[in-house]
Amino acid sequence: MNLRLIKIFLPLESRTKADEILRESDINEFWHDRISDKKVLIRALVLAENIEEFLDKMETEFSDTEDFRTVILPVEASIPRFQDEEEEREKKLGENNKKPERINREELYSNISANAKSNSTYLILIILASIVAAIGLVQGNVPMVVGAMIIAPLLGPSVGLSLGTVLGDLKLTLRSLKTIILGVLVGLLFSLFVGYLFSIDPEVPEIALRTEAGMGDVIVSLASGVVGVLSFTTGTLTALAGVMVAASLLPPLVTIGMLLGGGFTSEMTGALLLFIINLICINLAGVITFLIQKISPRTQWESIKAKALTIAAVSFWALFLLIILAIVFL
């Protein structure tokens, strides 16, 4: 069972209203502790999928209240267990009333924004991944290319761009976009250097494979975007999701740089088209997956802004993808 312990700090006079919200919400259990003459601490056990609605109510009511603070903590286990009670509750509600099985918006935002930052560690990992991928591609060494995908930290900013879009959060969107662009430029620069220094053979299978795009690549990159988002929204972030995203972005990117550095401009064009297709598909799939999981802003004004940004982004990605696919196939 995916439980969370929520700690809510409030002024003592706000306790009555908070109790009303707690009783109206889908809360497993809650307790009060008076921590001073003026403040109260409320602890609540809540299922992860039930938190968002409850937090929205609390924030709407107390966002302007001084000393209001909410802290969310994961619960590894609980004794006695809530499993039987929850199964019984779900049977009564029925399948149509079940909520999406995902973590709440605030946890999601915190996790993704932390992974979408560009810092020295991110740049070092991109450099190392580019070097390992370049050597693996030149030697036709598949395990080495896979190893480079494991190193590359491209999952966070890719998912961050999609989340920023559906939430209408320009700050997160621009930060994620900046991180992606920085990673692409650094990876391109180092692979360009490798292509200039060493003899590159475009006929090597691992390189030739990344110079042509097809519908299979579109399907794989769409799947990568879905897996990347689900790994965050379900709270089960794994290396596999990062590898899938990196598999779509890193090898084509390194291939572009090496072929350009080696003077193979015509072959480089194919790798460039493949990279653009994969980048578009990952973000398009990410936005659609967030929408299906009903990730949206809290307030009506933010929802209107987010809807406009989402429509613009999806339209742009879809149109750009059709143009690139037309270039590839025609």
Report the pLDDT value the prediction gives residue 83, as an integer from 0 to 100.
60
Domains of the chain from N-terminus onward: 3-99 (3.30.70.120), 106-329 (1.20.1080)
Convert the pLDDT of each residue in 65-124 to its tens digit.
Answer: 888 999 988 888 777 766 655 555 555 555 555 556 678 888 888 888 888 888 889 999
Mean pLDDT of 180-204: 89
Convert the pLDDT of each residue in 270-318 to its tens digit.
Answer: 899 889 999 999 999 999 999 998 888 888 888 888 998 899 889 988 9
Average pLDDT of the residues of the chain:
85
Report the pLDDT value the prediction gives residue 214, as an integer from 0 to 100.
81
pTM, two decimals, is 0.82
Residue 35's pLDDT band, with cuts at 50, 70 and 90, is confident
Give me the DSSP letters along 272-318: HHHHHHHHHHHHHHHHHHHHHTT---SSHHHHHHHHHHHHHHHHHHH
| Angstrom distance (rounded) from CA 170 to CA 143 | 38
